[in-house]
C-alpha cells in the first residue's frame, strides 16, 4: 500500500517527529478510517496529533484538521458500539417469552393425554 510505504520512507529519512511524517500518519489513518479499521486509524491519528501539536501548536489549521478527523472517528466508533449493543439486545430471548413458550408446551402435553 502506497500510504504505508510513504510513512516508512518519511520515518526513515525525516524522522518520526517530522511534519511530513505526521501528514503520512494522517493520510494512512484516513485510509484505515474509511476502510472501517478503526483501531488502526485511531493509533495513527493520535501519533499525528501529538507531532502537530508539538511542532506547530494546537490552533494551527493542520492540527485542527487532524483533530477533526480523529473526533469524527471516535464518534463513528461510539455509534458502531451502540448499534452493536442494540442489535445484541434485539437478538436476545426475553425471559417472558421463554415462560410463555414453556407454558404452551406444557398445555399441549396435557391435552394430548
Instruction: Domain of residue 95: give its range.
Output: 2-112
- The domain that holds 27 is classified in CATH as 1.25.40.10
In whole angstroms, give the CA distance from residue 44 to residue 6: 14
DSSP string across 46-92: HHHHHHHHHHH-TTSHHHHHHHHHHHHHHHHHHHHHHHHHHHHHHHS
pLDDT at 79 (0 to 100): 83
Per-residue pLDDT of the chain in tens (113 residues, 90 and over written 9)? 888 999 999 999 999 999 999 999 999 999 999 999 999 999 999 999 999 999 999 999 999 999 999 999 999 998 876 666 676 666 665 555 556 665 666 666 666 65
The total number of structural domains in the chain stands at 1
Instruction: Tell me the pTM.
Output: 0.71
Amino acid at each position: 500500500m502506497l500510504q504505508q510505504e510513504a510513512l516508512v520512507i518519511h520515518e526513515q529519512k525525516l524522522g518520526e517527529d517530522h511534519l511530513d511524517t505526521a501528514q503520512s500518519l494522517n493520510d494512512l489513518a484516513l485510509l484505515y478510517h474509511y476502510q472501517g479499521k478503526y483501531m488502526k486509524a485511531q493509533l495513527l491519528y493520535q501519533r499525528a496529533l501529538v507531532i502537530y501539536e508539538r511542532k506547530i501548536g494546537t490552533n494551527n489549521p493542520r492540527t485542527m484538521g487532524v483533530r477533526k478527523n480523529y473526533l469524527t472517528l471516535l464518534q463513528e466508533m461510539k455509534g458502531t458500539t451502540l448499534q452493536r449493543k442494540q442489535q445484541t439486545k434485539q437478538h436476545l430471548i426475553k425471559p417472558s417469552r421463554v415462560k410463555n413458550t414453556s407454558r404452551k408446551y406444557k398445555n399441549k402435553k396435557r391435552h394430548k393425554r
